[in-house]
């Protein structure tokens, strides 16, 4: 899978900085002892909860695709798993690209339409994560009222929330006023885009807006929001399982807060799988809730393995089964499908 070289180096540099933050001033012998003493039965239970979230994510994607095409859960789950594997291994969220290609290949859903559903997923995930942070911020303030991190988290949550709010307004415009938004985007395309690209880009935007049709139904929108919140609450079960495995004792509400903050930090571009960003954020949050640096780091490392390894192995199986490999140029395949979609629309 071809990836731009600068993406790789930029991600590695950011990850190196965050890894240094995660591993500094820690007794590694004590970390290793704590990892060896972990109760893996609880980890297995947590991994089970994580796979439940994958099925809920698959269900949510099916709902988002429904206005365009009915695709079975059996067909969507391998595609979703392969996408998560690719996000864990390749930079620049290549898993989203892989999902659009696989869905086009297996269900003939246009690239632009499937991409719209994936962006909607990210939007609803962002709203759910922001809700976890804001609703549980009091937990953090009670534990560390004088910590400078509380102020930083509050400020960051405000700005990230503002950005998500602006994106949400654009989506609402596309959902409720698709014709007017089409006029606006056509004006932008006709005035700012080179002539030879205008027709193709207009077709892509039209399909993208069409891909948001599911949100025109209030009930369907509420269902997608419910699914998004459910996903993150169940995924917190994995955080809980690893916590119990390490003999720690945080409330589930505190873990919800940690899940929210960690996933906000994962918005920072880094090496695949949030290498460094995930580890530093998890360790820092655990320390804010009174956990020692060694316990916090061992928790972060075991949680990383539990989050990364099982879904990567499952996704890799489906990835290889579809005939793809490390050298597959997904971008070229995607462009070929886009051209076919544009020709069919004419």
Which pLDDT score, from 0 to 100, does residue 248 have? Answer: 95
Which pLDDT score, from 0 to 100, does residue 338 have? Answer: 66
20: tokens are 């240094």
287: tokens are 């320390």
Which pLDDT score, from 0 to 100, does residue 146 have? Answer: 54
Which pLDDT score, from 0 to 100, does residue 53 have? Answer: 97
CB 204 within 8 A of CB 338: yes
Tell me which residue has tokens 């989203």. Answer: 96
Tell me which residue has tokens 């489906």. Answer: 318
Distance CA 190, CA 327 (A): 37
Distance CA 239, CA 307 (A): 9
Distance CA 263, CA 243 (A): 18
Distance CA 331, CA 269 (A): 20
pLDDT per residue, tens digit, the chain (346 aa), is: 555 666 678 888 999 999 999 999 899 999 999 999 999 999 999 999 999 999 999 999 999 998 888 999 999 999 999 999 999 988 878 889 899 999 998 898 888 788 888 988 988 898 888 888 877 776 666 655 555 555 666 676 667 667 767 776 776 676 667 777 778 877 878 877 787 777 777 766 776 676 666 677 778 888 888 999 999 999 999 999 999 999 999 999 899 989 998 998 888 888 888 999 999 999 999 998 889 999 999 999 999 999 999 999 999 999 998 888 777 767 777 777 766 666 655 5
In which element (H, E) is residue 225 found? helix 218-245
């Amino acid at each position: 899978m071809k990836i731009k070289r600068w993406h790789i180096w930029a991600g590695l540099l950011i990850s190196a900085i965050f890894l240094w933050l995660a591993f500094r001033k820690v007794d590694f012998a004590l970390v290793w002892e704590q990892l060896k003493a972990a109760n893996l039965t609880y980890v297995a239970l947590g991994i089970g909860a994580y796979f439940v979230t994958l099925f809920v994510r698959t269900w949510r994607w099916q709902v988002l695709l429904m206005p365009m095409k009915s695709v079975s859960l059996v067909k969507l789950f391998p595609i979703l798993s392969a996408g998560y594997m690719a996000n864990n291994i390749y930079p620049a969220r290549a898993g989203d690209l892989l999902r659009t290609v696989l869905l086009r290949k297996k269900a003939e859903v246009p690239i632009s339409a499937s991409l719209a559903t994936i962006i909607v997923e990210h939007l609803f995930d962002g709203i759910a994560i922001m809700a976890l942070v804001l609703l549980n911020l009091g937990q953090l303030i009670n534990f560390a009222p004088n910590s400078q991190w509380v102020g930083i988290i509050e400020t960051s949550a405000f700005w990230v929330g503002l950005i998500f709010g602006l994106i949400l307004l654009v989506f609402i415009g596309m959902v409720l006023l698709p014709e007017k938004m089409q006029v606006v985007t056509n004006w932008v395309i006709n005035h700012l885009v080179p002539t030879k690209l205008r027709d193709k880009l207009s077709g892509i935007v039209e399909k993208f807006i069409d891909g948001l049709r599911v949100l025109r139904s209030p009930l369907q929108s509420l269902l997608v929001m419910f699914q998004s919140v459910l996903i993150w609450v169940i995924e917190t079960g994995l955080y809980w399982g690893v916590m119990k495995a390490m003999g720690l004792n945080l409330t589930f509400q505190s873990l919800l807060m940690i899940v929210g903050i960690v996933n906000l930090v994962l918005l920072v571009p880094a090496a695949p799988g949030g290498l460094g960003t995930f580890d530093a954020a998890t360790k820092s949050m655990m320390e804010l809730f009174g956990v020692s640096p060694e316990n916090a780091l061992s928790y972060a490392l075991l949680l990383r393995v539990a989050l990364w390894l099982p879904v990567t192995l499952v996704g890799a199986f489906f990835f290889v089964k579809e005939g793809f490999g490390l050298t597959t140029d997904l971008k070229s395949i995607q462009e070929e499908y886009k051209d076919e979609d544009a020709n069919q629309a004419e």
